Structure 1
Amino acid sequence: MATAVRSRLPDRRDALLIVAAAVAVNLIGAVGVPFTATESAWFAGLELPAYYPPNWAFGVVWPILYALLGIAAALVYVRGRDAGGVGDGPGSDRDARTARDARVALGLFAVQLGVNVAWSPVFWGLERADLGLAVLAALLPLVVATIRAFDRVDRRAALLLVPYLAWVCFATALNYGIWALN
């Protein structure tokens, strides 16, 4: 699979876009926070797997992961824009393909982010570990597909999603452990 990698550093406008995307994805991710109730009677009554991390770890890890997701999405957007996907028409078949690949990648990104955000209302709001596990089972292949789609546009963006994939795998193991123990 051929991967386009930009060699130039982002200009000031692109740097602001990257920061804005990191903030925006964190804000989207924060939609699930009101549902998170680690002090609820339901959660307190659950048996947790031995590998369950301290609650504060989630508040550290997720903002970092969401920032990486935002940065990755911005890199893909900029690459697609520079290839002619936004504004000017494509200059070549390769540019047209890159612009199209960027649109597809960002569409997948939006879908997986929506599924990600759906987990908190399902797991915490409905108090359903089984349905939370189903959401994660849908999320995992979407994350992998997004990484592959990002890789077609900008390898750096794909690599920025690898820690997210690792954490989603860990979150799936946690959710499974909770479901299995309860």
Structure 2
Amino acid sequence: MDISLFLLFLLACSAAGATGAMFPPGEWYKTLEKPWFTPPDWAFPLAWTTIYLLISFAGARVAVLNDNAYAMAFWAVQAGFSTLWTPIFFGLRRIRGALLVMLPLWLSVLGATLSHFWLDFWAGAAFVPYLAWVTVAAALNLGMWRLNPKVEPLRVDKL
């Protein structure tokens, strides 16, 4: 594995992860009713750090292989949708809108997982925890939407 490629993929993950710092959960999130299976707050940064390290490893392994176009495209698409979800959910407080981002996010993570497996077993295996986590995140998002039907989104003119 090329360490320079790993660091570039990790930099991309860090950019996506920066939205968490720009749009923290805050008091609004604490007031929401949450599904019974919501992980404790400390689990989120631990999970995302682990996921970012793993998918950076996967990207670096696959980037140097022949016929990697689909794997790299899925890697990029999942990064884009992952980056988009946080500002929609936490920044704009649009629970339903964030749920709509979950579908292409989940599909792109599935595509990345399968296409990485196709090229390299360990790269595919590195995406499995992310697929599991985004599945839980989608269920959490759906649960919060159902449990909080009257939550008003933040108005853009109020920013």
- Give the TM interval when normalised to the shorter protein: 0.7 to 0.9
Q: Report the counterpart of residue 10 of structure 2 in structure 1.
A: 23
Partners of 1:146 and 1:23 lie apart in 2 by: 16
Letter in 2 for 1:51: F
Q: Is the 1:22–1:68 contact (alpha carbons within 8 Å) kept by the matching residues of 2?
A: no
Q: What residue in structure 2 maps to residue 75 of structure 1? A: 61
Deviations 1:48-106 (A, max 9, x none): 1121112111011101101101000000012x2xxxxxxxxxxxxxxxxxx2x212210
Instruction: State whether structure 2 residue 156 is matched by structure 1 residue 156.
Output: no
Residue aligning to 1:58? 44
Residue 120, structure 1, aligned to residue 86, structure 2: yes
Q: What corresponds to 1:169 in structure 2?
A: 135
Q: How many equivalent residue pairs?
A: 148
Say which one has the larger Rg.
1
Alpha carbon RMSD of aligned pairs, Å?
1.6
CA–CA distance in structure 2, aligned partners of residues 73 and 124 of structure 1:
28
Matching residue's letter, 2:36 = A
Q: Please give the alpha-carbon distance, in whole angstroms, between the structure 1 residues aligned to 2:11 and 2:22.
A: 19
1:46 is matched with 32
Alignment identity in percent? 34
TM-score (ref. length: structure 2): 0.85
Gap regions ≥5 residues in structure 1: 1-9, 81-98
The normalised TM-score by structure 1 is 0.75
Q: Check conservation: 1:35, 1:124, Cα contact below 8 A.
A: no
What amino acid is the match of 2:11?
A
Matched residues in 1 for 2:111 and 2:29: separation? 32
Report deviation, 1:35: 3.9
State the distance in 2 between where 1:172 and 1:156 align.
Answer: 25
